[in-house]
Amino acid sequence: MNAIPAGVEAALLEAGFSTTEIAILRRLVVDDACTLRELAGRTGKSTGVLDQAVKKLLQKVIVRKEIINGVTKYAMTSLDAVLQWMEEDDRRKRELMNRRHQNFATFLRTVEQDKKRPEIEYFEGLGNLPKAYRKLLGCGREFLIYDPVFCSIDDHPLRDFMVEWVRIRRKHAVGSRVLAHNTPLGRRYLSRDPYEHRRTVLIEEKDYPFTFEKILCGDTVACINYAEHCACLLKYPELASMERAMFEALWRQGMAKKDEVSSTPSGWNAPAPLPSPSPPHAAALSVVRTRSGLREFLPSRKRVAAFFGIGVLLILLVVGLR
């Protein structure tokens, strides 16, 4: 006789009951209490299998153990115990479904955040650094640059490219404003502004120390490290906006100090103001510009020496032929 309807058995299977556990419950609904041997005889299963199933039912508080005349028997706790366990299992499943829904919603939010994460591009090796500079040409019409000026242009690792870089920026109408430290190299760097298509302001190193070149252009922040021969381009609008605000604040501070120095009257403790440019100064400026143009045309000292040597050889050949 099957005391448990098929629909109830199907619900028990969905709730996680094994077929052996259902077989035990089927017998215990009919019989008040049974030993393992009696359950084995009536279900056709071994006592070992039944023992494991009974232990699980004991843990679920659906079956209780009784000692009758010194014999261990098992009986149903109550029919309500099965109903309570089913309700508790249904509650656990609902909680599990809610957690899965929350996890899936969190996953979707994470995907959306990943789409908004900054784009990063790396360049490694000294020969690849010019690619980082060229990549910035399409980001905006002005470069805001923090330049530590670690060497003169003659000793720069990318000297030839830097000469070409000025021409490239002029061609693309990309200007630049530079913050450099107030050091001898920084002041020498400032003196070349008229020929390098840029404007430079010197600041004290203690006000804003930096050891690598940083370029702000549009929504992109570029970090170029010559010590490690690497560069990183980070497209991050929020970071670029913060960096631009800091740059403008330092730029205004540097310009204010520059105006203050230029307007300081002569006295015992202050240097006299520089005289206004005169024609000789203009002539000197023209000479420097001419030299700068020649330097761009002949960027290498070795090349100049080679041309000079070839010229000497030609003169000697002409003299020899005569």
Tell me the CATH number at 198.
3.30.870.10
Residue-wise pLDDT for 253-295, tens only, equals: 888 888 776 665 544 444 444 344 434 444 444 544 555 555 5
pLDDT at 164: 92
95: in domain: no
Q: Which of 116-125, 170-179, 292-301 has the lowest mean pLDDT?
A: 292-301
142 and 17 assigned to the same domain: no
Q: Does the pLDDT of residue 16 top 90, yes or no?
A: no
258: in domain: yes
102: in domain: no
What average pLDDT is seen over the chain?
79
Instruction: Please state the pTM of the whole predicted model.
Output: 0.50
232 and 134 assigned to the same domain: yes
70 and 124 assigned to the same domain: no
Region for residue 197 given its phi and psi (left: phi exceeds 0; alpha: psi -120 to 50; beta: otherwise): left
197 and 68 assigned to the same domain: no
141 and 61 assigned to the same domain: no
Per cent of the chain over pLDDT 90 is: 26
Residue-wise pLDDT for 91-108, tens only, equals: 887 888 888 778 777 766
Span 78-86, mean pLDDT? 74
57 and 143 assigned to the same domain: no
Residue-range definition of the domain harbouring residue 226: 119-263+292-300
20 and 131 assigned to the same domain: no
167: in domain: yes
Span 148-170, mean pLDDT? 90
Provide the domain count of the chain: 2
CATH code of residue 27: 1.10.10.10
317: in domain: no
124 and 38 assigned to the same domain: no
pLDDT at 74: 85
127 and 255 assigned to the same domain: yes
pLDDT at 272: 42
Q: Does the pLDDT of residue 54 top 70, yes or no?
A: yes
1: in domain: no
137 and 248 assigned to the same domain: yes
Helix (H, G, I), strand (E, B) or coil at 175: strand
149 and 23 assigned to the same domain: no
DSSP code at position 155: G
pLDDT at 19: 84
Mutual angle of helices 19-30 and 36-43, in 10-degree steps: 110
Structure tokens at 290: 């001419």
Span 3-18, mean pLDDT? 73
Query: CB atoms < 10 A from the CB of 156, how many?
Result: 15
154: in domain: yes
What is the pLDDT confidence band of residue 60, given thresholds at 50, 70 and 90? confident
Q: Does the pLDDT of residue 1 top 50, yes or no?
A: no
What is the pLDDT confidence band of residue 154, given thresholds at 50, 70 and 90? confident
Among 62, 83, 104, the domain boundary falls at 83
126 and 197 assigned to the same domain: yes
Contact at 8 Å (CB) between 215 and 175? no
Residues 6+ apart with CB under 8 A from 316: none
| Higher per-residue confidence, 264 vs 79 | 79
96: in domain: no
Query: CB atoms < 10 A from the CB of 98, how many?
Result: 10
